[in-house]
Chains A and B, each alone.
Chain A
């Protein structure tokens, strides 16, 4: 299936088609104003204007003669960094949304409307209707169900608004329980899991926390430290030099299930044959949970310690079913 134009080209074309009607509505506007309005660099605005000014239609002569091209007030542009369109061609108005563009915004609105503080459901519904009418085809059927992230998000937002730290008990994947003080930076969800990213005062570093592993979350009156806000890496998890390497075996087609662990290793066997991949994990205790959750798909090849931990974990889990459940038949 075609992957469409390189991201750059479709974004650039969209910008050109959007910039023209904006410039038509503004008799004279500075490059910096346009850049701020569209949220792009002044350089990108200048590039676009340079291209628009030499573009047009073939025209009757099919020679792209002067009258068939856009034109700008070149002196204003070159000396004052100001854009004045002096001749227009073909386009009069803003383009419609594509089915998927409208769908992306509609799904975003659905998501917002499920959060408690965005209770203006009517405004959101009317916006969705407008987006649907403004699309060139029926918006793609992308639907987001309401989610209940719980009170944690409201508390964290209140802490952000007040510029104070939050405190919570946190059970690490190793099973250790610690009280953390954190400057909240961003809440993200990946699939079904919610994460808080923030500056952890215990570790003195940016850390990612699962919301569902927090307990006793509360707002403190300790101020946050503003200067670390920009230090947020874009990837949720970062590897560490102390990571352990584990080799696992799984069908080649299933490797994508382990994307979180950045599996390494060559493997060009048959599509349905097993392959080996090397994962980097902080400790084996996260691994045993991962492997037990992918029974029949992934198994640990080595090192032996990782195999034993996984086996003991599954064996202990299976042994629980030897107990007789009160009021029910045993296995």
Chain B
């Protein structure tokens, strides 16, 4: 009969986590923390009988979180005869909730489609989640041909706030972050109950309740300029499955309702790029150098249009016209050097000549 030799400090992270999952699946009534720390591989080697196990307990708390992050339903059970007692809490993983439902299966064609769906994400947390989901799918043993890779469009989620926000969303955790609102020069701290993360018109948006004004707000992930932190002790009840579609519908309605009319210099960067986003004509027949654009946020569009400098002239709405002009004036004045005469950039003039 062989047993695992005790090797203090030599048990790898994955072996400890794997052993913990096995032990908690195998138990019906659950194991207490003391039982886990003293018997499970990876903990027992470091367990001091009758001694101080504070760091080991913290390790267990982190492991528990990590295991739950992987979708494993690690449950806490209160003893019926001693409710509210922290000491006799038991931990277990109910097999029925751990396993894929028996009636779920995937065909080879479906698997191929899912593999393709996973390749949409090029990097970042969604690609990691996709990769682990595919590993789980592969355990079903269905053989499928690999999708033709490389030519499918792929998406990058660069915004660092994406992962902490989606985690907070799952946990019903209220978060705080510095938000640099388009059109403003300095960021402000926001406290938000995150409800959904939505990719709309090529931008990632956070949809949630702004806790300070108790109203629903939409935030651009790219404008979250600091770390996303948990607000200690502040939680909310997630809105459930419909929140994402609700957010999308709101953004869509907003986008359709807003229409800007913009004159573009023929042949310029603005003309080439903006004309590809041309909205369906709305009765008026603008000349060929005018484009009509739908938009969701006036300040975001104003930022973008200001970047085009003299290549665009906003015709309407007036608020957008004013916003773009104000930005251009601000940039012009911020770069005014008394020692340099206007138009002192010869290389620029040459390039401007192509307009």
Contact = CB atoms under 8 A, between A and B. Distances in A.
B22 A108 contact: no
A241 to B, nearest CB: 20
Interface in B173-216: 173, 175, 178, 180, 184-187, 195-204
Contacts of A184: 151
Interface stretch (A5-13, A79-87, A200-208, A220-228): A5-13
B79 interface: no
A257 B117 contact: no
B8 interface: no
A288 B313 contact: no
B160 A256 contact: yes
B182 to A, nearest CB: 10
A3 B164 CA distance: 8
A290 interface: yes
Q: Name the residue in B114, B129, B185, B337 with the highest tally of chain A Cβ atoms < 10 Å from its Cβ.
A: B129
A307 interface: yes
A189 B315 contact: no
Interface in B1-50: 1-4, 12-15, 17-19, 21-23, 25-26, 38-41
A311 B335 contact: yes
Nearest to A29: B141
Given A66-B2, A101-B132, A143-B248, A188 B154 contact: yes
B136 A101 contact: yes
Nearest 3 pairs of A and B residues by beta carbon: A192-B202, A98-B71, A293-B307
Contacts of A142: 126, 166, 196-199, 244
Contacts of B152: 112, 187
Contact of B18 (A13, A156, A191): A13
Contacts of A292: 306-309, 327-328, 331
Contacts of B113: 109, 112, 123-124, 127
A94 B100 contact: yes
B22 A56 contact: yes
Contacts of B297: none
B298 interface: no
Contacts of A102: 133
11 contacts: A13-B21, A69-B4, A94-B100, A104-B127, A189-B153, A212-B273, A255-B225, A289-B269, A292-B328, A308-B340, A313-B310
A251 to B, nearest CB: 6
Given A13-B18, A136-B97, A194 B153 contact: yes
B69 A299 contact: no
B234 interface: no
Given A51-B15, A101-B130, A127-B110, A325 B101 contact: no
B99 A2 contact: no
Contacts of B244: 141-143
B343 to A, nearest CB: 6
A144 B130 contact: no
Contacts, number: 473
Interface in B101-144: 101-102, 104, 106, 109-110, 113-114, 116-122, 125-136, 138-141, 143
Contact of B325 (A21, A101, A318): A318
Contacts of B19: 55-57
B117 A108 contact: yes
Nearest to B341: A308
Q: Name the residue in A57, A143, A290 with the highest tally of chain B Cβ atoms < 10 Å from its Cβ.
A: A143
B118 A18 contact: no
A94 B309 CA distance: 57
Contacts of B343: 312
A320 to B, nearest CB: 5
B221 to A, nearest CB: 9
A78 interface: no
Q: Name the residue in A62, A229, A297 with the highest tally of chain B Cβ atoms < 10 Å from its Cβ.
A: A297
Contacts of B18: 13, 16-17, 51-52, 55
A63 B3 contact: yes
Contact of A17 (B21, B195, B276): B21
A314 B340 contact: no
Given A111-B120, A191-B158, A95 B136 contact: yes
B260 interface: no
B22 A55 contact: yes
Contact of A308 (B252, B345, B354): B345
A73 interface: no
B330 A295 contact: yes
A276 B186 CA distance: 16
Interface in A54-94: 54-58, 62-66, 69, 89-94
Contacts of B312: 317
A237 interface: no
A173 B308 CA distance: 11
Contact of A22 (B2, B110, B138): B138
A145 B71 contact: no
Contact of B167 (A1, A19, A91): A1
Nearest to A145: B200
Contact of A91 (B25, B184, B198, B228): B25
